[in-house]
Structure 1
Amino acid sequence: MVVDEYGMPAGGIVTSGTVADCSQAPLLMEDLEAEAFLADKAYDTNELLDMLKEADITAVIPPVKSRKEQRAYSHELYRARHVIENVFRALKRWRGIATRY
């Protein structure tokens, strides 16, 4: 899911549970105008990092521990990732309401 800085959904893709999140990121990035891309360690792939660099978007993704060269990222910007977590929390809450008969 893509959200703006105010937590408003700007796009998303629904997949099965066995699909890797990072494989859907290029599709979400189409026509994306952003200064920074905040994501968790699941999105730490060379392909995605290269795409962000080409698009001149700052990658705010913590590196996985298995990376030989740990790259720096903005811890301050990463703290703002709670915005998307709040969107998922709201979706789960509404799902619970919608599925009650």
Structure 2
Amino acid sequence: MLEVLQPDTILLADRAYDSDAIRSLAAQKRAWANIPPKKNRTGSFSFSRWVYKQRNLVERYFNKLKHFRGIATRYDRDPLNFLTAIKLASVRIWLRAYESAA
């Protein structure tokens, strides 16, 4: 997945992915690696806690998406049908969030 990293994007990853190889690949692709440094890291890197907190939104979305049995077990083997199922489930998740906010 890192090979298709586009320029001027943000790579969000957790502390386990803090390695010189990943950071240099992101720099080579002209992307910003927003990865919290490991405890034993000697150098310092720019890191935004606010941007890292936004990663939680993505994690929660995938958690909600996994509650749909057809998606979690991937009944549809056709990639187009699977993508359609993800889109439909995403609409249901969004509508539930919209209803609870209103």
Tell me whether the two structures share a fold, i.e. TM-score over 0.5. yes
2:35 to 61, 67, 79: 61
Alpha-carbon deviations, 1:38-71, whole Å to 9, x = none? 1110110110000000001011100000112242
Could you say which residue in structure 1 is the equivalent of 2:51? 77
- Greater per-residue helix proportion: 2
TM-score, normalised to structure 2, is 0.58
Could you say which residue in structure 2 is the equivalent of 1:41? 15
Q: Which runs of 5 or more structure 2 residues have no equivalent in the other structure?
A: 74-102
Alpha-carbon deviations, 1:22-44, whole Å to 9, x = none? xxxxxx12223251001110110
Could you say which residue in structure 2 is the equivalent of 1:51? 25
Runs (4+) of structure 1 moved beyond 6 Å?
Answer: 96-99
Cα distance between partner residues in 2 of 1:49 and 1:94 = 35
Name the larger-Rg structure: 2
The amino acid of 2:36's aligned partner reads: P
Q: Number of residue pairs matched?
A: 72
Could you say which residue in structure 2 is the equivalent of 1:5? none
- Greater per-residue strand proportion: 1
Q: Which runs of 5 or more structure 1 residues have no equivalent in the other structure?
A: 1-27
Cα distance between partner residues in 2 of 1:97 and 1:54 = 35
Alignment of 1:23-42 (within 5 A): 28-33=1-6, 35-42=9-16
- Offset at residue 77 of structure 1 (A): 1.1
Higher relative contact order (CA closer than 8 Å, sequence separation 6+) = 1
TM-score, normalised to structure 1, is 0.59
